[in-house]
Amino acid sequence: MSSKRTWLWGTLILAVAAVIWYRQSVFQSPAPPTITNVAFVTGGSGPYWQMTVSGARAAAKEYNANLEVAMPEQEESIDEQMRLLIGIDKDKVDGIAISPLDAESQTHLINKIVESRPVVTFDSDAPLSNRRYYVGTSNYAAGQMCYKLISEALPEGGEVMILLANLSKRNTIDRKLGFEDAAKEDISAEDDSRVELVDVLIDEGNQDTCRENIRMALADHPDLSGFIAMNGYHGPLLLDVLKQEDRLGTLQIVAFDEHEQTLDGIGEGHVFATVAQDPYMYGYEAVRMLYELNSGADTAIPIVGGGVVHVQCEPVRKDNLDSFRQRLEQRTKSATSQSTDKADAGDAAESGASEPAQNT
């Protein structure tokens, strides 16, 4: 073999080796990312918050993350949530997801945490903080939807009242504002057939206060035509009080979220509609976002008030109640499966197997 032919064969072999190396370098699967440790802080422990945790667990399983869940026992308890948040060992987590109950007072603490690890808010935002993302619905649009639904329920107009947990959370503030702005902009309604907002009843998450507010409203406003229940626990409480007062079916109700008693009320004709969010997806997206931030997949520049991920809400009336319940049941089954997998993982860990822990 001539030296020229030897040189050509050598060059060809080197070229083929270079191509193989390049293809392996470019197309091989990336190395598994470092396990992300996520703290997930809810605003309560009721069914709504349980669903956010189910979504968070699903994402933790998919992205091989450790999940530490902190749930205040009392709904809308700012003090309890703050104790849980402060009690998190910041050195053992790579990111925190929180539904802030008082955006204004918690902004400083969120900014302090963000100095060393990312924070994602869900369900309710702290838009003036340096949190990286907010995952939730447009609560302003949800408030507008509430006005549209109560207007459908009361085509001849009438006096209505809003039930609201507080005016410290960004989501409740936005719902109220969206309702009020929609009422102002409703130029199609005649003056004598307009829905009139008489009052906003605040209960600070206290169910006894909520019940008393409803009873006083019924006694003081005999011409009252309806209620807009803007927090998930309001629908069941409202139905209970109206039943006790023998007023079921005499007022129109627009509720919030997918509490089973609220959905039953729609089916029985006692609730006109509810505005359903997607708490499962809030939890899922919050954990996914923190995973991406920790793994370097996200390169967005942190901008105050930016990084909003909206998950659309939907009205549930009697005509779409069955289909909504079917979808909700599928989600619940998925959540149950996640809980079972979590228990199995715990058993395996006790046997010496390596599995990420998901603590509740």
Query: Would you give the DSSP letter of residue 261?
Result: H
Token couple for 262: 């609220």
Q: What angle do CA 151, 152, 155 make, to 5 degrees?
A: 75
pLDDT given for residue 299 in this prediction: 55
Half-sphere exposure of 159 (CA within 13 A, CB side): 10
Buried b (16+ CB within 10 A) or exposed e, 69-84: bbbbeebbbbebbbeb
The alpha carbon of residue 296 and the mean position of all alpha carbons in its chain are separated, in whole angstroms, by 24
- Which helix or strand (DSSP H or E) is residue 280 part of? helix 279-295
How far is the C-alpha of 122 from the C-alpha of 178, rounded, in Å? Answer: 19
What percentage of the chain reaches a pLDDT higher than 70?
78
Residue 28 has pLDDT above 60, yes or no: no
* C-alpha closest to that of 256 among 283, 280, 228: 228
pLDDT of residue 160: 98
Checking DSSP bridges between strand 158-164 and strand 224-229, what pairing results, if any?
A: parallel
Count the neighbouring beta carbons within 10 Å of the beta carbon of residue 43: 27
Q: Which two tokens stand for residue 97?
A: 């997801």
CATH code for the structural domain at 139-276: 3.40.50.2300
- What integer pLDDT is reported at residue 348 of this predicted model? 35
Pairing between strand 95-98 and 37-41? parallel
Q: Is it the case that residue 331 has pLDDT exceeding 90?
A: no
Answer whether 37-137+279-359 and 139-276 agree in fold. Answer: yes
CATH number, domain 37-137+279-359? 3.40.50.2300
Q: State the helix-helix crossing angle for 321-350 and 47-62, rounded to 10 degrees.
A: 60
Instruction: Supply the pTM of this predicted model.
Output: 0.75
Mean pLDDT of 314-337: 86
Number of neighbouring beta carbons within 10 Å of residue 187: 5
The angle subtended at Cα 46 by Cα 242 and Cα 237, nearest 5°, is 5
Q: In the Cβ-directed half-sphere of 228, how many Cα atoms lie within 13 Å?
A: 33
Interval 223-238: pLDDT, tens: 999 999 999 999 999 9
CA 333 to chain CA centroid, Å, is 19
Q: How far apart are CA 331 and CA 339, in angstroms?
A: 12
Instruction: Please report, for the chain, the start and end positions of each structural domain, with discontinuous segments joined by +.
Output: 37-137+279-359, 139-276
| Banded model confidence at residue 210, pLDDT cuts 50, 70, 90 | very high
Query: Per residue in 90-132, pLDDT tens?
Result: 899 999 999 999 999 999 999 999 999 999 999 999 999 999 9
Q: Which residues contact 355 (CB under 8 A, 6 or more apart)?
A: 345, 346, 348, 349
